[in-house]
Structure 1
């Protein structure tokens, strides 16, 4: 019977809480017009990265420049008048009341100058934060009114993911826990985040509580709106025995695998623990270095002779086929052999007890 086998090995296995959501910008702002006028120049487009203070758009500033010039002249005149009034006051040539009138006129002119400067500055629409232009909501040559939304900006690093976890798992989640994320647009990559906020209230309609995850997007591959699957790492077993998922067989509530020893298949009942995308944690009469059947096991039975055609994903040559458990003094017979007793292989899981040992 031809079979494919893999070597049982120790791996770090994690327990997860699974959820899916869409990514959000941690900070998103709209840029509004603070004055009215025609848009005469647009300096950025959607997707552009800008820094705080960069000019995004210019509104027709001709009237604002004229008003600023007039305010500058008026202030200069008022200031000269105040200087003369001070000299005359020092020689008691003007009354206190006349001096205060001139002084107030100068202050009024200074205020009007500041207002004119501000009105001119408002013709330059600038970025309020560092980030990316997500939406441009204005066209060149159109009339812009005060309060109109012109751009939408967002910061892409870090991002935020809001997920909802069943109420029964509330005690498993803690601030700072690692979260592994996978995006549909980058299926071969894994991204990391951390639990940042945990809502103290459970939604009575759904029976879930909200968890906010801060996501590192420094590589520039994630964007707001992307759909991601999230795995919150709630527990970890280091050095656990693990077999590929396809090795596990089921018989009612029992789970078992087939190992190969001396070219002979042997059924082993196992208990399973943590599971990830590829491996399952197991406990039972198995050891690191044992060969577990991952293909061809459906028609096997204990004691059947097998022919190993693939080992650890590679073709097994006829003159180099391993004979698991047969060459006790050969280091090349098995990639790794644990010389410890076969009982108690996984400290994280309760071991299956053989009832015949107690009869």
Structure 2
């Protein structure tokens, strides 16, 4: 504190020093005698002197810092070269650390992804015919069963068309009955003429006329039958168009539940809708799909049927199980990612489409892997490694060795070490103050008895 006060006093000039500075810069001769009223002591003169002294002090400090740096050994000028940022060197004071054990254990490689939930299936319901929407029988969130009518359009025009086609069919059937009667009459007449002709009681021309009339009557019957079939088809077409005025919920029976739900409503009652214009959307909530995208690194490690764990911030503390259902066979060229769909059972309706989810997939399980605690991994000089405890010691202090390592599988608590094959204990807390050969102080429970 005394040094700070002295430095502040040093920077602040006295009145005499300010007057002397003013006289040096003044051109009037009476400033030398102190009688100049124009250039007496002023705040600006004091500020100039403070600035000069401050600049001089900073220059001295900078020069001293450069001299100290130049006197340091080369290895101590670069933190990456072994300089201990905490001030602890190999021969410095021991650093208090925490340690963990190198071990062999089973480890599972878990891949983490994010995605969005989508309905197990989703489709739009739209009328096949246009018209005014008379009744909309369901709304958002309502359950919908297979074959249920969900909307009704105005159908007067279609009802009239059905009536017209039914009347036309009646006419065609009457014409068929008349043609059948004529055929029978002509057939009997031809039989009589044929009998008379065999007995030479009828001429050849009478026989030919009777035969042509019988053939014509038979052809008229076939024409009438075709007309009846045509009218029947027209009636069925009119009835189908009439059925289009009733919009029904229909879907394939495989997969999903017997009941689905209205996801969105696009129009209201009274609106004029065109053919194939969506009215509502129907979604399946019994099954959901988590859609995510994976890079080429993980693409080869995923396969259909893998078990996944699903979490959502909308349901904190809950975990849901899913299975990889589909993996796209190609990666998108723009993003180098492939689409993956994960099927999730949702019978209890705890999840909803649109939820953002975190997905965990167990992609590989390793047995008897060499692992260290995750906190033991450190970086020095651009390399990854661990500080290994020198076990040849007694008491509360030991030394550490910096061992570069090659990492393998990472979990929340451990990291697999592929190379080298290390044994013993490693530092898990305090690595930022260590370098190769540093002395460390162990907790009582970590010491080796002498």
- TM-score with structure 1 setting the length: 0.64
Query: Which residue of 1 is the match for residue 392 of structure 2?
Result: none
Q: Distance in 2 between matches of 1:103 and 1:68?
A: 20
Per-residue deviation, 1:149: 1.8
Q: Distance in 1 between matches of 2:357 and 2:130?
A: 42
3-state DSSP of counterpart to 2:242: helix
Q: Confirm or deny that 1:254 pairs with 2:385.
A: yes
3-state DSSP of counterpart to 2:270: coil
How do 1:4-153 residues align onto structure 2 when only pairs under 5 Å count?
Answer: 10=105, 12-16=107-111, 18-25=112-119, 27-92=121-186, 95-129=217-251, 131-153=260-282
Q: Distance in 2 between matches of 1:140 and 1:39?
A: 5
- TM-score with structure 2 setting the length: 0.53
Note if contact 1:199-1:209 (Cα within 8 Å) is conserved in structure 2: no
- Deviation larger for 110-119 or 99-108: 99-108
Per-residue deviation, 1:57: 0.7
- Which ranges in structure 2 are unaligned for 5 or more consecutive residues? 1-95, 188-213, 253-259, 390-394
Per-residue deviation, 1:124: 0.7
Per-residue deviation, 1:43: 1.6
Per-residue deviation, 1:136: 0.9
Selected match of 2:442 from 288, 301, 304: 304
RMSD (CA atoms): 4.4
Per-residue deviation, 1:177: 4.0
- Deviation larger for 91-100 or 53-62: 91-100
Q: Confirm or deny that 1:226 pairs with 2:342.
A: no
Q: 1:4 to 1:83 in 2, by over 3 A?
A: farther
- Deviation larger for 122-131 or 272-281: 272-281
3-state DSSP of counterpart to 1:211: strand
Note if contact 1:165-1:211 (Cα within 8 Å) is conserved in structure 2: no
Q: Confirm or deny that 1:185 pairs with 2:314.
A: yes
Note if contact 1:182-1:191 (Cα within 8 Å) is conserved in structure 2: no
Deviations 1:300-344 (A, max 9, x none): 98663447xxxxxxxxxxxxxxx9999xxxxxxxxxxxxxxxxxx
Q: 1:41 to 1:254 in 2, by over 3 A?
A: same
- Which ranges in structure 1 are unaligned for 5 or more consecutive residues? 308-322, 327-359
Note if contact 1:4-1:296 (Cα within 8 Å) is conserved in structure 2: no
Note if contact 1:264-1:305 (Cα within 8 Å) is conserved in structure 2: yes
Per-residue deviation, 1:293: 10
Q: Distance in 2 between matches of 1:41 and 1:202?
A: 45
- Deviation larger for 236-245 or 188-197: 236-245
- Deviation larger for 56-65 or 214-223: 214-223
Note if contact 1:51-1:129 (Cα within 8 Å) is conserved in structure 2: no
Q: 1:62 to 1:299 in 2, by over 3 A?
A: same
Per-residue deviation, 1:5: 10
Q: Distance in 2 between matches of 1:161 and 1:12?
A: 27
Larger Rg: 2
- Deviation larger for 249-258 or 21-30: 249-258
Q: Confirm or deny that 1:215 pairs with 2:356.
A: no
Q: Distance in 1 between matches of 2:303 and 2:366?
A: 18
Note if contact 1:26-1:160 (Cα within 8 Å) is conserved in structure 2: no
Q: Distance in 2 between matches of 1:200 and 1:143?
A: 43
Q: Normalized per residue, which structure has more strand?
A: 1
Q: Distance in 2 between matches of 1:257 and 1:213?
A: 44
Q: Distance in 1 between matches of 2:186 and 2:366?
A: 92
Per-residue deviation, 1:198: 3.2
Number of residue-to-residue matches in the alignment: 301
Q: Normalized per residue, which structure has more helix?
A: 2
